[in-house]
A = this chain, B = another copy of it.
């Protein structure tokens, strides 16, 4: 019964999408509006007050009679283009279902279930507007970011009926914030490999991205002797193989050269220029900094070989360590539900990165098939989501008892 209900909610939410493969629901679009048209009545049907805020978040509230303290739950409503049915929205609906099942229970704190407007950041190449607004770390400069049509984020908010001038007023009071707990699909294969429905998140990874431009010397692929070549692609190969080997042999580090362009990119011309991006992710700042030092050694080697290397750190986001107490409470709930507790870190970013500025955060991951996400074939077992819901419900009740 509950299973059918959650499946129906997920289906209805997934139908708020552009036509085509998977779910495409970008921030402040018609599809976003359609989802809100479905979610608001659903929230009210669950016995919650609902409110649209000026950052594009939809907030459902279960008020406490005599407390200003608030526990925050939820996740994001947006998807990548042709994404799946679960990334983001699952965390909103599971929280909603947990709170719905507690509708008869009076709690000693308020609960807000938030469907954050944008976490993927696909449309405006900026991210976490919704959660930074709530957490008080909103950067007004991102209002000038534009989408592919040239429309600014500020203009898109206005056309959606929102007033960006009010965003700074959305910041919650730190003293009154108990914590933020998010349920999210894992987007990786670890839980599946361990045959576990859910897992605890120790940290949300820190990320840094380097843009590297290598200038060697272009030339005729037949007439320049090998020992006189300065092949920029061969040089780029040094980064690619180093990063792969180093990441494979370093605990809790992943790395990728995701983008590589060479010039002139012609079958019979020695590549003269290679431009690549190199991304490092680890939940440990020290691990990333050590990797950066090793990266500099590769650069130094290439410079010594006569290459011109321009390397720039273009993006850097510190990790967020999940709160020990909140995570411990989640773990107790998990154990009481009979699930062996496995802790893993999140290699992807989440709204918790912003919410950590406001309050302690904790996350519960739900197993997904083949570790696949950001893809139309993204898939989960509804039973796993219900397990997450039960854990969340128990977590809330236990927190209330100890309050």
Interface SS majority for chain A:
mixed
Q: Are A257 and B228 in contact (CB under 8 A)?
A: no
Ordered by A's residue number, 14 sampled pairs between the chains whose C-beta atoms are within 8 Å are A188-B220, A190-B225, A219-B372, A221-B254, A223-B371, A224-B347, A226-B254, A226-B255, A233-B260, A237-B244, A256-B268, A258-B266, A258-B269, A258-B271
From residue 216 to 246 of chain A, which have CB atoms closer than 8 A to chain B?
A: 219-228, 231, 233-234, 236-237, 240-241, 244
From residue 64 to 114 of chain A, which have CB atoms closer than 8 A to chain B?
A: none
Q: Are B228 and A189 in contact (CB under 8 A)?
A: yes
Q: How far is the CA of A225 from the CA of B192 in the complex (A)?
A: 13
User: By CB atoms of chain B within 10 A, which of A189, A222, A247 has the most?
Assistant: A222
Q: Are B234 and A240 in contact (CB under 8 A)?
A: yes
The yes or no answer to A215 lying at the interface (CB within 8 A) is no
Inter-chain contacts of A271 with B (CB < 8 A): 256-258, 260
Q: Are B256 and A231 in contact (CB under 8 A)?
A: yes
Q: How far is the CA of A166 from the CA of B198 in the complex (A)?
A: 78
Q: Are A254 and B279 in contact (CB under 8 A)?
A: no
With A228-B189, A231-B256, A241-B237 known as contacts, the answer to whether A223 contacts B269 (CB < 8 A) is no
How many of chain A's residues touch chain B, expressed as a range?
35 or more
Q: Are A267 and B240 in contact (CB under 8 A)?
A: no
Q: Are B262 and A221 in contact (CB under 8 A)?
A: no
The yes or no answer to A205 lying at the interface (CB within 8 A) is yes
The yes or no answer to A187 lying at the interface (CB within 8 A) is yes
Task: Tell me the minimal C-beta distance from A351 to chain B in angstroms.
Answer: 15
Inter-chain contacts of A209 with B (CB < 8 A): 267-268
Q: Are A224 and B259 in contact (CB under 8 A)?
A: no
Task: Tell me the minimal C-beta distance from A397 to chain B in angstroms.
Answer: 31
Q: Are A247 and B226 in contact (CB under 8 A)?
A: yes
Inter-chain contacts of A222 with B (CB < 8 A): 187, 205, 207, 254, 281, 346-349
Who on chain B is nearest to A186 by CB? B223
Known: A226-B247, A233-B240. 14 other contacts (CB 8 A): A186-B223, A187-B220, A188-B224, A221-B279, A221-B281, A222-B349, A231-B256, A233-B260, A237-B237, A237-B244, A256-B268, A256-B269, A258-B269, A260-B265
